[in-house]
């Protein structure tokens, strides 16, 4: 019995030390933005890419609306609709940046110290087995929520690194296409002005027709580039939705599943019940 009491005091002191260290040292470290500079830098770079994509899609949409006729209107409207998806992705990035420090604060300054306090009570009241289970599950939950964002960011960065070159190429191609479309629309407007003076200067008719043909050819070539840019934007949106929204959720589910798989059976093992520990002592 004395051996069991000694083990109780050792366990209580250990839990007290863990709770104090969690609230002071670990909690301050996990809740400080200075200690997450790599993760914050990664999120800022991702935010910059999304902003560039938003600007490129908007610029291309505006350039399409300036073209004569309604041929490019459906594509322009589709490009304008993409801004809603980019806004959704931007919100997810800001949420990850916010949760990076908040979850660390909640895990190590609130949840884990509470788990240690409940664990101390469970040590001195072994007949209350439910307290022990609550303490262990709270402690595991604190570790899980503190690990979700850093781990999901690591996985996301690995995926996005393989697509960085294609993303930058899509942005450059969209900006170049928008610039060409603007030049084509300006040339077309100048040809329209020459239409108004055809009666006064018939000698320029053939020259104006050649310019109009060249404009039409350049616009038809640009349509293919516009379609490619639209497809690229849709692919990038799908990539960012996966990396910023789906992967963090899947990471949380995977951590909970792994924790249950490795610890659930052990927590319910008969040899760990307080009554059996007392008998052994």
**pLDDT for res 115:** 93
Task: Report the number of distinct structural domains present in the chain.
Answer: 1
Q: Which two tokens stand for residue 101?
A: 């420090």
- End-to-end CA, the chain: 6
Token pair 């996990």 in the structure block, residue:
30
Per-residue pLDDT of the chain (281 residues; tens, 9 = 90+): 667 677 888 888 999 999 999 999 999 998 888 888 888 998 898 888 888 888 888 877 777 776 666 666 777 777 778 888 888 999 999 999 899 889 999 999 999 999 999 999 988 887 777 888 889 889 999 999 999 999 999 998 888 888 777 777 777 777 777 777 666 655 555 444 444 444 443 443 344 444 444 444 444 545 677 777 778 888 888 888 888 889 999 998 888 888 877 766 444 444 444 444 444 44
DSSP label at residue 197: T
**pLDDT for res 256:** 85
Structural domain for 273, as ranges: 2-280
Greatest CA separation for the chain: 116
Distance (Å, whole) CA 54 – CA 87: 8
**pLDDT for res 18:** 93
């Amino acid at each position: 019995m004395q051996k069991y009491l000694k083990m109780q005091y050792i366990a209580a002191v250990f839990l007290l030390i863990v709770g104090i260290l969690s609230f002071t040292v670990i909690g301050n470290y996990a809740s400080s933005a200075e200690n997450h500079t790599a993760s914050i830098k990664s999120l800022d770079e991702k935010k910059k890419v999304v902003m560039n994509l938003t600007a490129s899609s908007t610029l291309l949409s505006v350039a399409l609306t300036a073209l004569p006729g309604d041929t490019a209107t459906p594509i322009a409207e589709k490009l304008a609709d993409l801004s809603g998806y980019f806004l959704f992705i931007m919100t997810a990035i800001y949420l990850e940046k916010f949760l990076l420090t908040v979850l660390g604060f909640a895990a190590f300054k609130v949840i884990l110290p509470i788990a240690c306090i409940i664990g101390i009570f469970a040590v001195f009241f072994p007949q209350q087995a439910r307290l022990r289970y609550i303490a262990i599950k709270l402690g595991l939950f604190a570790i899980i929520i503190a690990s979700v964002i850093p781990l999901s960011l690591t996985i996301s960065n690995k995926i996005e690194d393989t697509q960085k070159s294609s993303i930058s190429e899509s942005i450059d191609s969209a900006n170049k296409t928008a610039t060409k479309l603007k030049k084509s629309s300006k040339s077309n407007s100048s040809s329209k002005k020459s239409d108004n003076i055809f009666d006064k200067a018939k000698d320029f008719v053939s020259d104006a027709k050649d310019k109009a043909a060249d404009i039409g050819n350049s616009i038809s070539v640009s349509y293919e580039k516009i379609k490619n840019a639209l497809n690229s934007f849709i692919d990038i949106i799908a990539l960012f939705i996966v990396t910023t929204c789906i992967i963090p959720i899947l990471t949380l589910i995977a951590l909970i599943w792994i924790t249950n798989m490795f610890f659930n059976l052990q927590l319910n093992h008969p040899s760990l019940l307080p009554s059996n520990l007392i008998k052994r002592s």
